[in-house]
Amino acid sequence: MASPKISVVIRTKNEGAFLERVLIALLEQDYHGGLEIVIVDSGSTDRTVDIAKRYNTRLIEIKSEEFTFGRALNIGCAAARGEFLVSLSGHAIPVDKSYLKNLIAPYNDPEVMATFGRDVPLPGCCPSQARDIEEWFPNKWLDRGHFFSNANASLCRKAWEWLPFDETLTGAEDALWAKKILVAGYKIIYVPTATAYHSHTASPRFVYTRAVRETKALKSFEPARAQVGLKEAFHFWLGVVRRDFIYAFQYRFHPKWYLHIPIYRAAQAWGLCIGSR
């Protein structure tokens, strides 16, 4: 019996530096059940669109002002034809050829509605992010409530049709979706063998902006978790800076990162504080 067809939905904006590597890794997968790649681009100005066209993907272009994470993913899922919908960041590169097979393997259990894989940092990632990624995506079974990441995940189509992603949130649309799925009595499985290289820029501006938007989104459905005052932000900063320094020393990161760590974490802490207001 042939494996079900998979649709990989990739949200992009200016992913020209990584998208080709993502697509090549997908096309080289050891999976023979049928595969389509749907790219939802929100106003790229680099070579992202050209790369998408060169690899014969199904390209959907939306205006940048129309974008939310949930809206772009809903658009891609609606256009996709697969039984399983893989959500992959435009800079999340599958590590090996078994990525897709491993990611969808848990669907043998009819109660499983979604899975998500393990992220590992891209080469050159700053130690703060690298430590966060290692903590949040271990190489063993993970059970952390409704933690779920659309950057490297799959959904059963019937689950998405029953519960599309919230298009109004500025972030954390995956956490809200997962919470509702689990409350309904279904399962979401972490698959550490479905591994992808995935990390972000080391820019303090980026981490500040991300912290603001994700905290604002979280505040709308889990207000208790989004209450971060100056005191809490300071204690957060103090704790993570200390752990980052230990991690950077342990893994022999370049000395340049020792100045970056407190600045990066200060931007993140301040973003959490601002986002909670």
pLDDT in tens, 147-176: 899 999 999 999 999 999 999 999 999 999
Q: Is the pLDDT of residue 3 over 60?
A: no
| Any domain includes 1 | no
- Of 147, 179, 197, the residue that ends a domain is 197
In this structure, are 140 and 50 located in the same domain?
A: yes
Name which of 13-22, 125-134, 214-223 the model is least confident about: 214-223
In this structure, are 186 and 209 located in the same domain?
A: no
Please list the residues that pair with 187 across neighbouring strands.
112
Specify the pairing of strand 6-12 against strand 35-41: parallel
Question: What's the confidence (pLDDT) of residue 97?
Answer: 97
In this structure, are 171 and 247 located in the same domain?
A: no
Q: In the chain, how many domains are there?
A: 2
Q: Rounded to 5 degrees, what angle do the CA atoms 192, 111, 163 make? A: 95
In this structure, are 193 and 211 located in the same domain?
A: no
pTM, rounded to two decimals? 0.93
CA atoms within 13 A on the CB side of 28: 11
In this structure, are 52 and 187 located in the same domain?
A: yes
Mean pLDDT (the chain, rounded):
93
Model confidence band, residue 223 (pLDDT cutoffs 50, 70, 90)? confident
| Structure confidence by residue, pLDDT tens digits, 28-75 | 999 988 899 999 999 999 999 999 999 989 999 999 999 999 999 999
| CATH number of 86's domain | 3.90.550.10
In this structure, are 62 and 189 located in the same domain?
A: yes
Look up the domain containing 140 and give its range.
6-197
- Of 137, 162, 197, the residue that ends a domain is 197
- Of 145, 178, 197, the residue that ends a domain is 197
